[in-house]
Chains A and B, each alone.
Chain A
Amino acid sequence: MSETPVFRFRGAIVFSALLGAAALPTPAWSQGVDQLRRRIALLEGAHREALVAAVHSESLRAETHDTIRAGALTVFARSADGAVRQAAIAAWPTLDSTYGDAASILAAFPLVFHRRRHSEEAGIILPQQERLQRILVDSTAGVRDITWQLVSAGANTIQGKADSALRQWLGGSTVAAQTGALSHWTRAYEELVLAPWRSVRFCYLGDLAWCRVALGLAEDSNRVTNWYDAAERRAIVSELPLDALRVQRLAVDRCLTMRSDEACVAVLRSLPPEIPLPQPLPTATRMTLLRHVIDLGGRAAYPRLAHSEEAVLEARLAAAAGVSADSLLAGWRRKILAAPPKSVTFTMAAAWSTVAWVALLALVGLRSTRWR
């Protein structure tokens, strides 16, 4: 290697700065739209190259790194860490089967992997770079943990490119991190039975129109009245932090003491953005619907969903799954009801193994050497 990593890092920054400076002198109003687009594309390309060079040089400065590729998934990790290679190989099929062709975007968004050592207990501050996701794991993390981290990071990147309506509905959860394991459906079952909202209760009882409301798929403009009934609205207001309601004191009093539903609606409609309304079903349960869509629609489901021209989310999900909206929701509900959690019920295998343990321990007691 003829130049130091630090020099290359600085060189890349200087290169991109010069390129940017070269693009600026021409007044923007004197250029055509096409010409501007070309310049933007050129600058973006240069920025991408500079970024890759910066990452590479920075990682070289710290320690020797390898570039691990599995499909479109690209990970920079320490050369000695074989677990990351195994994890990347395990993570890619999950991402590919979940997101299909949409997962190819990961080629442009490398992940930088770092393993925390015991000597770094105080914490590591990793420099932030746009287009670059950092993964920091504990020193003891095994292949399974790392695989989950890579899947989560990759899924975040892919879902982050979706349109705002879909992103908002997904609420930051990632469907790929839900591997379709039974526990997610079981948790959804618990939500369906235990959530304190009317919409969820009726969804559990089989009314698909209420399932739409509970999942946030129905008309979104009037959540306060669509999502909750009067008693639920009053309960929500009573749980709100008092500081946030100082301005609304009169309305809150009317809502809680005089039981005025109009006042409750007014309070809930005027909530600041930092206090969101509670969703009838959490985003984790919404993810089970998306998982169901992907199970039905296969590899092409997510790209269809992400690039759909439909305005209504429910129609987009149904189109991605390749079935009607009613059939989609009915299938989703059926799948949840088929996965009730195990509570006090004991499996026969567990009961027999316990009986075997009792017999074994009793034998140990009989064979004691106390008298010898």
Chain B
Amino acid sequence: MFRQILYTQWKWSRLVVLLAVLAGCALPVLSVQHTAYTNPSDWEARQMLGQLQSWGVLYPVLATVLAVIVAMVAWAADHRGRHVYALSLPLPRWHYALLRFGAGAVLLVAPILALWVGAVLASSTLTVPPGLHAYPTELAVRFGLALFVAYATFFAISAGTPRTAGYILGALGVLIAVQFIAQAGDVNLPVLTWIWDRLSIWPGPLDVFTGRWMLIDV
């Protein structure tokens, strides 16, 4: 059963996955293409890191975009067919959802491996200045974790009903309104800041996205 679901999801999302494989492999290689450090007597590490940092924002962006598309595609056919196919299977709901989740997760492994290969290639072709180090494996692991967090989030959202999405959006709207009223009334109530901090600072789920994404760093 898993192989069939994996095959169908591969067919639906192969273009995106292949593009992500290419992007994942190319991104680290491109990020070091124009680094100025070619001669060990030069000392242009700061400039080099600046260039790498500007490329670094693309790693979480790639992870998020890929995760959104693969998660949406996993459920798209079921939503279109009003879940008739899934209901006709002799499987409980959780088992079916698990197969869908697992198939998507397997497809995401390829871009992670591609990024790791690209990062290893990029760092091996470059003379790293003293004091700096290349982190190809760490970068790939972090990319993988970010990808899976984003994928799990959008998979859960996509698997829910429009009513659930409405509740989430409504709660967000209420929070924004409370924040606005508190500010107007000169009351110190930083609700949104508090929520964002809980999400983006460890142990929040978005902690993996924050900070610098550097192939080479101090």
- Quick check: B188 and A367 within 8 Å, CB to CB? no
Residue B194 at the A interface, CB < 8 A? Answer: no
Q: Which chain A residues border B161 with CB–CB below 8 Å?
A: 368-370
Q: Which chain B residues border A358 with CB–CB below 8 Å?
A: 145, 148-149, 152
Q: Which chain B residues border A99 with CB–CB below 8 Å?
A: none
For residue A235, give the distance in angstroms from its CB to the closest CB of chain B. Answer: 10
- Quick check: B218 and A190 within 8 Å, CB to CB? yes
Can you list, as one digit per residue, whether each of A337-363 has a CB less than 8 Å from chain B (1) or not (0)?
Answer: 000111111100111011101101110
Q: How far is the CA of A196 from the CA of B142 in the complex (A)?
A: 30
Q: Tell me the nearest residue of chain A to B148, going by C-beta.
A: A358
- Quick check: B94 and A367 within 8 Å, CB to CB? yes
Residue B177 at the A interface, CB < 8 A? Answer: no
- Quick check: A368 and B213 within 8 Å, CB to CB? no
Which of B49, B138, B145, B152 contacts A361, CB < 8 Å?
Answer: B152
- Quick check: A345 and B135 within 8 Å, CB to CB? yes
Residue B207 at the A interface, CB < 8 A? Answer: yes
Residue A198 at the B interface, CB < 8 A? Answer: yes
Residue A194 at the B interface, CB < 8 A? Answer: yes
Report, as a range, how many residues of chain A touch the other chain.
Answer: 35 or more
Can you list, as one digit per residue, whether each of B84-120 has a CB less than 8 Å from chain A (1) or not (0)?
Answer: 0011000001100110010000000000000000000
Residue B179 at the A interface, CB < 8 A? Answer: no
Of B3-11, B14-22, B38-46, the one touching chain A = B38-46
- Quick check: A368 and B43 within 8 Å, CB to CB? no
Residue B198 at the A interface, CB < 8 A? Answer: no
Residue B35 at the A interface, CB < 8 A? Answer: no
Q: Tell me the nearest residue of chain B to A204, going by C-beta.
A: B131
- Quick check: B149 and A343 within 8 Å, CB to CB? no
Residue B203 at the A interface, CB < 8 A? Answer: yes
Q: Which chain A residues border B156 with CB–CB below 8 Å?
A: 361-362, 364-365, 368
- Quick check: B94 and A371 within 8 Å, CB to CB? no
Q: Tell me the nearest residue of chain B to A352, going by C-beta.
A: B203
Q: How far is the CA of A74 from the CA of B180 in the complex (A)?
A: 37
Which of B86, B145, B148, B218 contacts A341, CB < 8 Å?
Answer: B218
**Extra 6 A-B pairs, beta carbons < 8 Å, given A344-B135, A368-B159:** A193-B131, A194-B45, A197-B43, A345-B135, A357-B149, A366-B94
What residues make up the interface of B, taking CB atoms closer than 8 Å to A? 43-46, 49, 83, 86-87, 93-94, 97-98, 101, 130-132, 135, 138-139, 141-142, 145-146, 148-149, 152-153, 155-156, 158-161, 164, 183, 186, 188, 190, 202-203, 205, 207-208, 211-215, 217-218
Which 5 pairs, one residue from A and one from B, show the smallest C-beta to C-beta distance?
A343-B217, A361-B152, A193-B131, A365-B156, A368-B159
A-B contact pairs, 18 of them (CB 8 A): A140-B188, A192-B131, A193-B131, A205-B130, A343-B212, A343-B214, A344-B138, A344-B142, A344-B213, A344-B215, A345-B135, A346-B138, A346-B141, A354-B205, A361-B149, A368-B156, A368-B161, A370-B160
